Amino acid sequence: MNTAHSIATPIWTAGLKVMTSKCRACNRSMALRQISARKAGIRMRDAWYCSSLCFTSAAEEELSELLKSGVEHGTHVSRMPLGLILMSQGLLTSAQFKEVTGEQKEVGGEIGELLVRRGSVSEKQVAAVRATQWGCPVFAMPKRQLNPGIHVPSTLLKRYSAVPLHYVAATKLLLVGFVRGVEYGLLYAIEQLTGCKTQPCFVTPSDFQAQTHRNLEVEEKSADSFPKEVIFESVHSAAEIARILCRHGADLEADEVILGKCKEFLWARLICGAREVDLLFKAE
Say which CATH class 154-221 falls into: alpha beta
The Cα–Cα gap between 266 and 67 comes to 8
Model confidence at 146, pLDDT cuts 50, 70, 90, reads confident
CA distances 3 to 10, 51, 259, Å, are 18, 4, 20
Higher pLDDT, 30 or 114: 114
pLDDT value of position 155 = 93
Does residue 159 have a pLDDT over 70?
Answer: yes
Mean pLDDT lowest among 66-80, 145-159, 263-277: 66-80
Tell me the percentage of the chain whose pLDDT exceeds 90. 54
Amino acid letter for position 125: Q
Domain ranges of the chain: 11-70+227-282, 82-128, 154-221
CA distances 153 to 17, 40, 107, 160, 268, Å, are 37, 28, 31, 11, 11
Contact call for residues 282 and 269 (beta carbons, < 8 A): no
Q: Read off the pLDDT of each residue in 240-259 and give the average, rounded to a whole number.
A: 93
Q: Render pLDDT for 196-207 as a digit per residue (tens, 0 to 9).
A: 999 999 999 999
Does residue 21 have a pLDDT over 70?
Answer: no
What one-character DSSP code corresponds to residue 67? H
pLDDT value of position 61 = 94
Contact call for residues 63 and 38 (beta carbons, < 8 A): no
pLDDT value of position 115 = 93
pLDDT value of position 4 = 40
Does residue 82 have a pLDDT over 50?
Answer: yes
Could you please report the per-residue DSSP string of 124-135? HHHHHHHHHHHT
Q: Render pLDDT for 168-186 as a digit per residue (tens, 0 to 9).
A: 999 999 999 999 999 999 9
Model confidence at 38, pLDDT cuts 50, 70, 90, reads very low
Mean pLDDT lowest among 104-108, 126-130, 221-225: 221-225
pLDDT value of position 7 = 30
Q: Render pLDDT for 98-111 as a digit per residue (tens, 0 to 9).
A: 999 999 899 888 89
Q: Is 48 in a helix, a strand, or coil? A: strand
The Cα–Cα gap between 48 and 43 comes to 4
Does residue 232 have a pLDDT over 70?
Answer: yes
pLDDT value of position 128 = 95
Model confidence at 264, pLDDT cuts 50, 70, 90, reads confident
Does residue 71 have a pLDDT over 70?
Answer: no
